[in-house]
Amino acid sequence: METLLLQADEKSVQYAGELLKKGEIVAIPTETVYGIAADCTNESAVAKIFTAKGRPQDNPLIVHIASLDMLRGIVSAFPPQAEKLAAAFWPGPLTMILPRGEKPCAATCAGLDSVGVRFPSHPAAQAVIRAAGVPLSAPSANLSGKPSPTNARDVFADMQGRLPLVLDGGDCKAGVESTVVSLLGDAPVILRPGYVTKEQMQQVLGGEVLVSEAITHAVKAGEKVLSPGMKYKHYAPDAELTLVKGDFASFAEYVGGMPEKNTWSLCFDGEEKALPVPAIAYGKEGDGASQAHEIFSLLRELDRRGAKKVYVRCPDESGISLAVYNRLLRAAAFRVVDLRDKKGNGGD
C-alpha cells in the first residue's frame, strides 16, 4: 500500500474524512501524540488499526470526540465527576473511562463493558472527526512496543505501507499521551499519568484522586490490571535503557565507568558537556512539561544515532514528570539503578 504524507489542511482533512467513512484508517496529529484513527463503530475498520500496529487484541482503544453531543451512544453514563473534569480539561489531554454505550464496536473496547473517551484539542484532530462525522477510535500511531510518535516523520517511519494517509499537523504540544482516569468506582483512579496531573484533578473535584500502583511498578504475570495497556512492554527504543536515580555528580561518575562503546546518556538541559559519554538533554530538571515534549522523539533519535546502552537521569515522580517517569520505566523494562542507596544517604 502506498502511504501519502500530507500537510493537514482543509483539503487533506476532507480526504481523511472520506477515507474514514469508507472504513479506512488514517494517522492524525493530536496535542498529545499522533494517533491512528478509525470509525469507532466499524468493526472491520478498527481491526485494521490492530493489524497496522501489531497491537494485542485485548488492549482497548480510546474513542475521540469533537463535541460533547458526540458522547451520545458512546458512553451509557456521564456522572457529575465526569462533567466537572470535562468542563475543566476538555478539549485536552484527558481520557475518562466510563460505562460503555451501544455505539463503540467490540474491538474498540476489547470486549470490556467500559470505554475510554477523549475530546482532543488539536484543531486538525477535531476537523478530521467532524469530517468523518463519527467519533474515532485512535491509539498512538507507533508500532506496538515502540515509542509513541510526536511528529509526522516518526509516524511515517513506523506506518509507511501500513495505512493510506498520514496527516502532518506539526510537533505535538504535550509529547506524552493523555492522562487516563477511571470513573467507574467511587473515587477516580489514574490508570496512566499524563499532562493533566492528579493535583489538577483533585483541585477540580475537591476530593482525592487515586493513582494505580501499576504506574510505577511492574505488573506481575497473571496479575489483574485495571487497564490492559499496563501489562505490555512499551515505548522501547532498540537501545537498552537504564534509569539512574541520584545527583548529577554520581550520575557522571557512574556513566564514566561504563566500558561499552556506544554508551549514551539522557540528561537535563545544560548537563551535556559535563558528562564523559555522549549526552542529549531531554528537558529542564524539575520541569515535566519540557521533559514530556522531548522524551519520545529523543528515544527514537538515540536509535538513529546507534546508541546501544542509554543511561537516563531520573525525572521526579510528581506533576507532569510522573508521566515521563512512567514512560521511561517501561522503556527501560523497569531497570533502575539507585545511586542514593550506595552513598547511604537514603532514597525511597
Footprint of Mg ion (CB under 5 A) = 140
Candidate list 177, 198, 265, 277; residue touching ligand TXA; CB under 6 A = 177
CB of residue 177 to ligand TXA, shortest distance in Å: 3
Q: Choosing among Mg ion, ligand TXA, none, which partner's interface includes residue 30 (Cβ < 5 to 8 Å by kind)?
A: ligand TXA
Does 99 participate in binding ligand TXA (rule CB under 6 A)? no
Nearest to 292 by CA among 148, 118, 88: 148
Closest to ligand TXA by CB, 146 or 313: 146
Evaluate whether 59 touches 232 at the Cβ level (below 8 Å). Answer: yes
CA distances from 131 to 7, 66, 155 (A): 16, 10, 21
Which grid coordinates belong to 325? 517517569
Q: Name, in order, each residue with C-beta under 8 angstroms of 254's C-beta and a sequence gap of 6 or more.
A: 244, 246, 311, 337, 339
CB of residue 76 to ligand TXA, shortest distance in Å: 13
Evaluate whether 215 touches 190 at the Cβ level (below 8 Å). Answer: yes
Closest to Mg ion by CB, 42 or 140: 140
C-alpha of 55 from chain center? 14
Candidate list 30, 126, 200, 265; residue touching ligand TXA; CB under 6 A = 30
Does 188 participate in binding ligand TXA (rule CB under 6 A)? no
Candidate list 27, 62, 183, 190; residue touching ligand TXA; CB under 6 A = 62
CB of residue 120 to Mg ion, shortest distance in Å: 15
3-state secondary structure of 118: strand
* Euclidean distance between CA atoms 110 and 152, whole angstroms: 27
Does 192 participate in binding ligand TXA (rule CB under 6 A)? yes
Does 95 participate in binding ligand TXA (rule CB under 6 A)? yes
Closest to ligand TXA by CB, 114 or 151: 114
Closest to ligand TXA by CB, 191 or 243: 191
Closest to ligand TXA by CB, 36 or 332: 36
Residue list 218-247, contact with ligand TXA (CB under 6 A): 227-229
Closest to ligand TXA by CB, 178 or 265: 178
Candidate list 48, 103, 118, 313; residue touching ligand TXA; CB under 6 A = 118
Closest to ligand TXA by CB, 201 or 252: 201
Does 309 participate in binding ligand TXA (rule CB under 6 A)? no
Closest to ligand TXA by CB, 115 or 243: 115
Pairing of strands 136-137, 62-64: antiparallel
Nearest to 236 by CA among 310, 336, 316: 310
Nearest to 32 by CA among 137, 148, 161: 148
Evaluate whether 236 touches 331 at the Cβ level (below 8 Å). Answer: yes
Buried/exposed code over 40-64 (b: 16+ C-beta within 10 A; e: otherwise): bbbeebbbbbbebbebeeebbbbbb
Q: At what angle do helices 152-159 and 288-304 cross, to 10 degrees?
A: 40
Indicate the helix (H) or strand (E) that contains 89. Answer: helix 80-89
Q: Choosing among ligand TXA, Mg ion, none, which partner's interface includes residue 225 (Cβ < 5 to 8 Å by kind)?
A: none
Which grid coordinates belong to 148? 509513541
Number of residues that bind ligand TXA (CB under 6 A): 28
CB of residue 118 to ligand TXA, shortest distance in Å: 6
* Euclidean distance between CA atoms 337 and 107, whole angstroms: 39
Q: Choosing among ligand TXA, Mg ion, none, which partner's interface includes residue 178 (Cβ < 5 to 8 Å by kind)?
A: ligand TXA
Does 140 participate in binding ligand TXA (rule CB under 6 A)? yes
Which grid coordinates belong to 66? 469533537
CB of residue 156 to ligand TXA, shortest distance in Å: 16
Evaluate whether 134 touches 18 at the Cβ level (below 8 Å). Answer: no
Residues that bind ligand TXA (CB under 6 A): 30, 32-33, 35, 59-62, 93, 95, 97, 109, 112, 114-116, 118, 138-140, 177-178, 180, 191-192, 227-229
